[in-house]
Amino acid sequence: MITDSDMAIPFSSNDSVSHERKFLKHIRDNVHGNIFLEPIFLKFVDTEQFQRLRDLKQLGLSHMVYPGAVHSRFEHSLGVYWMAGKAIDIIKKYQGPELGIEQFDVFAVKLAGLLHDVGHGPFSHTFEREFLPLVLNGSTWSHEEMSEKMVDHIVDQHNIDLDPQLLKKVKEMITSSSHHPQDHLPQRDNQFLYDIVANGRNGIDVDKFDYIIRDSRACGLGCNFQPERLMETMQVMDDEICYRAKDYLTIHKLFTTRADLHRTVYTHAKVKAIELMVVDALVKANPYLHITSSINQPSDFWKLDDSILKTIASSSKPELKESRDLILRIHRRDLYQFCNEFSVPKDQLNNFKSVTPQDVVCSQSNSSITLKEDDVAVSNVKIDLTRGMENPLTKINFFKDYESKEKFAIEDGRISHLLPAFYEDIIVRVYSKKPELVEAVSTAFENYQLKTFGRKAQVHETPEKKKHLKHKTHSTGITTVDIY
């Protein structure tokens, strides 16, 4: 079982620091500075299952557009562990006796932060949201549920002696983001503890705190959001983490910064083109590599990471030729060609159904070129502030000052008339898989918009030079397309 020494929190007192320092693993992080790992957490970090996170890029394929975005889920997980520890330490410092926070709770929160992403698949969310639904009809697989299984697997495989109740609590904290306010939250003591790492109640959690800062820095983007302000001033009221009313705009900045990252990085038009190509390559390779056979077995799943693309690209097997050619096209920057996009009109959002290649192909006009579904790729991108068309700040409770005994919600209109009145965008992008078909695909896409909305919803015309792209053959003999 866990000893008191294992569970000691560094820097809880001067005596504790001097006594425990020799047991701590010191890591220098480029976001948080010095991170210290206690012996029990090192037992998890020093496993092949956790070290696998080094081979999962945090931003999937975004590094193909943002070269600095090569950070991994390994350092992100260490960052969430550290921030989870700071958050629970702050709450315990000011309200520990009142809330009955025990060392057991502190340990559970920190371990949940460390292990929250241990069940992630390759290429960020592309694996579970784009690839799996295509090869497993109706797939409900999620990395959160896989993280639960991986935690059990690590504990069993490496004989880590943990209290079963502690293990249960850690897993519940990892999956708590699946519970939304409209759901009936499970009846638990100290429910606020489950909102620190993965907050399904209102979306404010240390997971977001870390990846927003880390991703912005890696991509060379500015980030004005400062989580320390929120963490230092949060207060638990009625079993819920609440925030000072004066921090309303800071919280709003958290959600808008996340939305900006989605628009400019995570769903960048060229990033999505590469993702579509990778998904096509994986779908074609799956019957031979049996990728999906490992997704429910932790003993096999931990061996699956981003290196699967290298496996396909370096293979000489004829059955992998189509997949290999797609990956080589990515390396040679011969990408699916972005044709155009439109933002779904606000009055259509409620009833919107994802646009498919079939929708585009069925909208083509009479021409000398007949498009097939396999010539077209479509990306339906949703960008919101975490609650779809709802304002996420309506789910957050505030307090006036530290002497206050009441919590309350705040309406946007009481803060500023410059805040948005709408909270969701859906952007439909269409791509041609062959450069010579850009004009035909673009025209069919315009026809689809006329048929659906009675007008073209796109802002810009497809440039004529893009419509008439030709392959260029260089002296190397490699055939590429000029897409820059």
Q: Which residues are the active-site residues?
A: 143
What is the number of alpha carbons within 13 Å of residue 395 lying toward its C-beta? Answer: 20
Burial 361-399 (b: 16+ CB within 10 A, else e): bebbeeeeeebeeebbbbbebebbbbbeeebbbebbbbb
3-state helix, strand, coil in the chain (%, to 5): 50, 10, 35
CA proximity to 231, closest of 186, 193, 196:
196
Please classify residue 158 by burial: count the beta carbons closer than 10 Å to its beta carbon, then call 0-12 exposed, 13-18 middle and 19+ buried.
middle
DSSP codes, 134-169: HHSTT----HHHHHHHHHHHHHHHTT----HHHHHH
Q: How many CB atoms lie within 10 A of CB 303?
A: 12
CA proximity to 115, closest of 199, 69, 50:
50
CA proximity to 129, closest of 140, 119, 117:
140
Q: Which two tokens stand for residue 447?
A: 């026809």
Angstrom distances, CA of residue 252 to CA of 18, 203, 205, 398, 411 = 40, 12, 14, 13, 12
Q: Which two tokens stand for residue 460?
A: 């810009």
3-state SS class at 424: strand
